[in-house]
Amino acid sequence: MELNENARVDTSQVDDRRGSGGGGGMGIPIPTGGGRGGIVGIIIAVLVALVGGGFGLNAATNGDDSAQGDNTSLEQKCSADDALKQLDCRNALYVNSIQAYWRTAMPEVFGEQYKPSKTVFFSQNVSTGCGAADSGVGPFYCPADDLVYIDLTFYRLLADQLGAEGEFAQPYVLAHEYGHHVQDLLGTEAQMRRQQQRDPQSANALSVKLELQADCYAGAWAKNATGTADEQGQKIFTSITDEDIQQAIDTAEKIGDDAIQQRSGRPVNPDEFTHGSSEQRKQWFTKGFSTGDPKACDTFGAGT
């Protein structure tokens, strides 16, 4: 994967709240409370965020938008010549690419306008429309405030604990979360939540379909990523290789529910799956990538 050095990072698509939470920055390891719990926590908390309740706080914090970060230093950093050597600037640029893709694709494919959503960079803890969250939950999308949240130290955990080391794991993770934003805009997410309430027994199965669709959307973005450009029309990626795509597929496999259950020493139980098995996650990312068409991501119709 190569980024175009002439591409400009649009930091207005990011809300930098690091440092406001105290002491954070990029040097602090994620407080996962003992490894495995952290990984499982990612999966569970992301589900909770999606199916409504939030992280145990819910309605009380809804609409609390007071925690706007200060982007000044990020803006300066990411307009410097060596910006793309910085993890946070690169991630901001990935967000730019993903949103540039959906700005075009959503009207084309679904006949609806894309509404941009910011990604919040936080360290350690953050207050969200879905309640308070800490880094241990991993990256997530909150439908209540339409924001993607990530503590960038998550990538180290992904590499160290799951062995998903390739750089392309990063845009894959972000593209997956933006897939949830698209589902939110299209009403897929709300529809699934109503279905879950009507039929609690199939709640997990429905969650799997939603998650696999987000993987598939990430694949569709990956296929079209080299066509995305910054505001001045500069291409964002100069190249994405087969190896990069393989890294995304490997990551998808490593965070499959069966893989995670195995890693945590539990028996594999498909009834408890909320994100899909390794094989399913790989399959749906690949389907999105091979077709490059979000319409092909019909996990709800495919009887997965």
What residue ranges bind Zn ion (CB under 5 A)?
A: 211, 214
What's the closest the beta carbon of residue 127 comes to Zn ion, in angstroms? 21
**Dihedral angle over CA of 121, 52, 275, 273, nearest 10:** 140
What's the closest the beta carbon of residue 70 comes to Zn ion, in angstroms? 29
**101/237 with CB nearer Zn ion:** 101
DSSP 9: P
**142/152 with CB nearer Zn ion:** 142
**211/230 with CB nearer Zn ion:** 211
**152/214 with CB nearer Zn ion:** 214
Name the strand (E) or helix (H) holding 133: strand 131-134
Strand duo 140-142 + 119-121: pairing: unpaired
User: Sign of the C-alpha dihedral, residues 264, 270, 273, 276?
Assistant: positive
Closest CA to 174 of 198, 197, 150: 150
Closest CA to 92 of 106, 107, 71, 113: 71
Residues 197 and 201: their CA atoms lie apart, in Å, by 9
Residues 77 and 289: their CA atoms lie apart, in Å, by 33
**211/258 with CB nearer Zn ion:** 211
What residues have CB less than 8 Å from 268, skipping those under 6 apart?
Answer: 258, 261, 262
What's the closest the beta carbon of residue 48 comes to Zn ion, in angstroms? 12
What's the closest the beta carbon of residue 58 comes to Zn ion, in angstroms? 19
Residues 228 and 230: their CA atoms lie apart, in Å, by 7
What's the closest the beta carbon of residue 7 comes to Zn ion, in angstroms? 27
**93/173 with CB nearer Zn ion:** 173
Identity of the residue numbered 144: A
The first and second tokens of residue 147, run together, are 């924001």
Name the strand (E) or helix (H) holding 239: strand 237-239
What's the closest the beta carbon of residue 254 comes to Zn ion, in angstroms? 14
What's the closest the beta carbon of residue 210 comes to Zn ion, in angstroms? 7
**155/237 with CB nearer Zn ion:** 155
